[in-house]
Amino acid sequence: MADKNVETTGLLGWVDNRFPLTKMFKEHMSEYYAPKNFNFWYFFGSLALLVLVIQVVTGIFLVMNYKPDARFAFESVEYIMREVPGGWFIRYMHSTGASMFFVVVYLHMLRGLFYGSYRKPRELVWIFGVAIFLCLMGEAFFGYLLPWGQMSYWGAQVIVNLFSAIPFIGPDLSLFIRGDYVVSDATLNRFFAFHVIAIPLVLIGLVVAHIIALHEVGSNNPDGVEIKKGPKDKYGRPMDGIPFHPYYSVHDVVGVAGFLIVFAAIIFFGPEMGGYFLEYNNFIPADPLKTPPHIAPVWYFTPFYTMLRATTSDFTWVMAAGALLAAVVLFAKGRLSGIWRLAVPGILILVAILMKVLDAKFWGVVSMGGAVVILFFLPWLDQSPVKSIRYRPNWHKVLYAIFIVDFLILGWLGTQPVSPSATLMGQIGTVIYLAFFLAMPVWSRLGTFKPVPDRVTFRAH
């Protein structure tokens, strides 16, 4: 047993002889050295883990009383709210937790965007993170139908019907997802199985992989300096790092306390948040014969829903022109080499042609899905010589600000009824969103960059 390097006795020693508990705690907590200049942006990773636990625990208690049956689903939710002791509290924790999960994850991803946390050697950490984001979107979508209210029913009807826009396989695919020709009891059971079993298992596995990959390469920091390459003490520990435990475990308690205060305030004083967290139409039982006047998804889907609605037949001309322009720029600039110099522009030209051949509804689905999928390629789209926004030109910061405002406007537009002005604003916002990433290989290299320090900059606070 000497190879396990067991240093403990008693019950802990007995466990360590059979399971590497102390070894794992040292590797991932007490002897994991993180940069000493973390700021408040680094609260959101641990907060995301906290909300995941809240969602799993409250979900277990909800399932104890929920019936995945189209005849009784809405009544079972009302039973939880009115008859089960503490049921209203558990239900509101779960519904508020869903929205707060996306708040935390969006801010966590924004921090990664600011500080270049997706750059080498953390590409896989970022890819796992975006995969987690996709799973969260799927989990939220499947759970959205379960209350079997008006907005749940018709929201699921609209989203599932989008798959029918896919050429050749679309109608059969949407039929397979629904399990019927309309959203029905079969759909509810399928969504329940995905929401409660399938996606949570994948999600937990991705979270574990995300953390392991992060601890393998080390955490990034606001300066974008690799502390593992910096000076080390006589024990080989980074001099610009401190042990995660107890320093950052205690540091995160502050963030957790602040988060729980906000979380509790929402649950007790405004769980519907004006209809953004829980839509008022969802307190009405699902009626397949009565369509709500305005169907819109929950707020965290609305930016992408706006992109879907903005893609009209006229707008495909703009998208086709953009694809052709990108093909010309890539070929003329010669940034690609070998077969890729011809292949990538050729694909873009083919896409431009297909935009006028295939239905605009299909390209709406593509733009909506592409807005998320493009995040996977961010480590290679960003060609900046520095990681952190701190050392980039000031006009780069303006571009980041425009992107953030654009995303918020897209989100707001998704909650509004369809109108010509809203559609035009959505089209402009979609162009800005996609151009931010697609043009990143060009603009991220431009400008005068500030010198990056050899060591992290840190001031005690």
Residues making up the binding site for heme b = 94, 108, 195, 210
- For the annotated binding site for a ubiquinone, the residues are 215
Beta carbons of 384 and 266 less than 8 angstroms apart: no
The number of CA neighbours under 13 Å toward the Cβ of 198 is: 13
The C-alpha atoms of residue 89 and residue 91 are separated, in whole angstroms, by: 5
The Cβ of residue 83 has, within 10 Å, a number of other Cβ atoms equal to: 10
The C-alpha atoms of residue 58 and residue 93 are separated, in whole angstroms, by: 7
Beta carbons of 404 and 432 less than 8 angstroms apart: no
- For the annotated binding site, the residues are 94, 108, 195, 210, 215
Beta carbons of 410 and 433 less than 8 angstroms apart: yes
Beta carbons of 6 and 16 less than 8 angstroms apart: yes
- Which of 105, 135, 173 is closest to 365 using CA atoms? 173
Beta carbons of 422 and 416 less than 8 angstroms apart: yes
State residue 294 phi and psi, 5-degree precision. Answer: -140, 110
Which residue has tokens 């896919």? 166
Counting DSSP H helices and E strands in the chain, the numbers are 19, 2
The C-alpha atoms of residue 136 and residue 375 are separated, in whole angstroms, by: 15
